[in-house]
């Protein structure tokens, strides 16, 4: 029978990063399984590529800060042709309450070492002249935030993982987990069962399905999110930051000479659906034209939808399960998984191999969802 020291379920950026960090720690016998035709076929491949440390809770800020440092050294460390464009993230507040909350978040961010500036509407226009700012009460900007192509970074991990001996298979879905005597024993696939004492659930929006195979509930639901892009536009500079309207939740960034736009549909129910709602795409475009009036004549050249993997408090789940032993979960990044993937992989490798972690992830276990613990903490950023 096939054997592995660790089997990772899910060939997105989280699974790939965990495999890399385990391999770098000396684990020789790692198998990574992806159900789709290629790695990154799901959320990772649909992602907008935004990377930021401007969050509202300490752990999200710390995961992002550690990841930004890793993105900065990624090309050299991995020998991969990747680019991390540190063009910054600009969050615009359009009412006093939002602005007050944004300034409170900045205090927390600065206390943890994030370099973030407060900008007036005029300063926003110095940065991006095309933005309509007559209703902007204030904005926050961190120049170290930025953009990257998730495919490039995923391929960086995939290539390096192969060099390190990770056996990674696409088109090999996990259909069951074998548990005996309260311990993980193996992973079932149509191509045969792999005997293993450890399984890492990095199945993103499908993580609840994988957990259920071992009789475990993890509160992660799939929620459809849309993106649209324009054809090239002469007035969009490649140095423009990621621009976020805190009011509508619209975000926009330069993409292939044009603009990428995304926004959350407020009443989108959880479901495994990624068909494009054309009416909603027009709502995104309308919100974008409202913020950048010169977009009125822009041609929309593509639109797609992918799944956010959403937990009740919009924080990821890092868990070393005790029932069954040998099962680990690293999923539920709630739309922040690309930007937090380097630190997530490193932290997960520590949790698996050392049973303790450099970053304090004690708040990110499943216990927080018990009625006594799950109180008062939610990531409030709108995107």
Ligand X SMILES: Cc1cc2nc3c(=O)[nH]c(=O)nc-3n(C[C@H](O)[C@H](O)[C@H](O)COP(=O)(O)OP(=O)(O)OC[C@H]3O[C@@H](n4cnc5c(N)ncnc54)[C@H](O)[C@@H]3O)c2cc1C
Question: By the criterion CB under 6 A, which residues form the site for ligand X?
Answer: 9-15, 33-36, 40-44, 46-50, 173-174, 202-206, 210, 225, 227, 262, 306-308, 331, 333, 335-339
Ordered strands of the 117-119 beta sheet: 117-119, 138-142, 89-93, 242-245, 251-255, 258-263, 221-230, 300-310
> 326 exposed, middle or buried (CB, 10 Å; 0-12, 13-18, 19+)?
buried
When the beta carbons of 225 and 315 are compared against ligand X, the nearer one is 225
Tell me which residue of 199, 220, 200 sits closest to 209, measured CA to CA. Answer: 220
Tell me which residue of 63, 59, 65, 52 sits closest to 91, measured CA to CA. Answer: 52
When the beta carbons of 137 and 178 are compared against ligand X, the nearer one is 178
∠ CA(108), CA(113), CA(114), 5° rounding?
Answer: 75
Least Å distance, CB 290 to ligand X, is 20
When the beta carbons of 265 and 374 are compared against ligand X, the nearer one is 265
Least Å distance, CB 318 to ligand X, is 12
CA 246 to chain centre: 19
Q: Calculate helix-pair angle for 341-354, 13-24, nearest 10 degrees.
A: 50
Least Å distance, CB 120 to ligand X, is 26
Least Å distance, CB 222 to ligand X, is 9
Provide the phi-psi class of 50: left if phi over 0, else alpha when psi is between -120 and 50, else beta: beta
Least Å distance, CB 360 to ligand X, is 21
Residues 6+ apart with CB under 8 A from 110: 116
When the beta carbons of 137 and 306 are compared against ligand X, the nearer one is 306
When the beta carbons of 53 and 205 are compared against ligand X, the nearer one is 205
Three-state SS string over 84-123 comes to EECCCEEEEECCHHHHHHHHHHHHHHHHCCCCCEEECHHH
Least Å distance, CB 5 to ligand X, is 18
When the beta carbons of 315 and 336 are compared against ligand X, the nearer one is 336
Distance CA 232, CA 298 (A): 8
When the beta carbons of 174 and 364 are compared against ligand X, the nearer one is 174
Least Å distance, CB 100 to ligand X, is 26
When the beta carbons of 36 and 77 are compared against ligand X, the nearer one is 36
SS3 content of the chain, % helix, strand, coil (to 5): 30, 25, 40
- The CA-atom distances, in angstroms, between 176 and each of 7, 184, 211 are 13, 11, 10
Least Å distance, CB 161 to ligand X, is 14
Tell me which residue of 31, 21, 2, 34 sits closest to 210, measured CA to CA. Answer: 34
Q: What three-state secondary structure class fits 233?
A: coil
Least Å distance, CB 200 to ligand X, is 11
When the beta carbons of 137 and 348 are compared against ligand X, the nearer one is 348
């Amino acid at each position: 029978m096939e054997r592995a020291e660790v089997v990772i379920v899910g060939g997105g950026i989280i699974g790939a990063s965990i495999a890399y960090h385990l391999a770098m720690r000396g684990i020789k016998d790692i198998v990574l399984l992806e159900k789709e035709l290629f790695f990154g076929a799901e959320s990772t491949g649909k992602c907008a590529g935004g990377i930021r440390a401007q969050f509202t809770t300490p752990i999200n800020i710390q995961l992002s800060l550690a990841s930004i440092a890793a993105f900065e050294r990624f090309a050299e460390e991995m020998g991969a042709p990747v680019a991390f464009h540190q063009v910054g993230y600009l969050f615009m507040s359009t009412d006093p309450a939002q602005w007050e909350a944004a300034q409170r978040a900045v205090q927390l961010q600065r206390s943890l070492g994030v370099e973030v500036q407060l900008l007036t509407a005029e300063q926003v226009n110095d940065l991006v002249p095309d933005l309509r700012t007559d209703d902007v009460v204030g904005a926050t900007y961190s120049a170290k935030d930025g953009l990257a192509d998730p495919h490039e970074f995923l391929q960086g991990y995939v290539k390096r993982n192969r060099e390190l001996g990770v056996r990674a298979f696409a088109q090999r879905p996990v259909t069951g987990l074998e548990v005996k005597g309260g311990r993980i024993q193996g992973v079932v696939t149509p191509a045969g069962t792999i005997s293993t004492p450890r399984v890492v659930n990095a199945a993103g929006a499908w993580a609840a399905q994988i957990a259920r195979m071992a009789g475990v509930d993890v509160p992660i639901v799939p929620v459809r999110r849309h993106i649209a892009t324009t054809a090239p536009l002469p007035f969009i500079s490649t140095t423009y930051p990621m621009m976020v309207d805190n009011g509508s939740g619209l975000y926009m960034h330069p993409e292939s000479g044009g603009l990428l736009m995304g926004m959350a549909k407020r009443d989108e129910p959880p479901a495994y659906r990624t068909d494009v709602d054309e009416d909603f795409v027009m709502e995104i475009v309308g919100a974008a034209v409202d913020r950048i009036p010169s977009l009125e004549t822009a041609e929309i050249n593509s639109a797609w939808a992918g799944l956010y993997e959403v937990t009740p408090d919009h924080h990821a789940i890092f868990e070393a399960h005790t029932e069954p032993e040998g099962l680990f979960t690293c999923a539920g990044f709630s739309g922040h998984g690309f930007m937090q993937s380097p630190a997530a992989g490193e932290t997960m490798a520590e949790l698996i191999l050392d049973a303790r972690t450099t970053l304090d992830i004690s708040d990110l276990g499943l216990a927080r969802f018990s009625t006594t613990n799950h109180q008062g903490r939610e990531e409030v950023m709108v995107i």
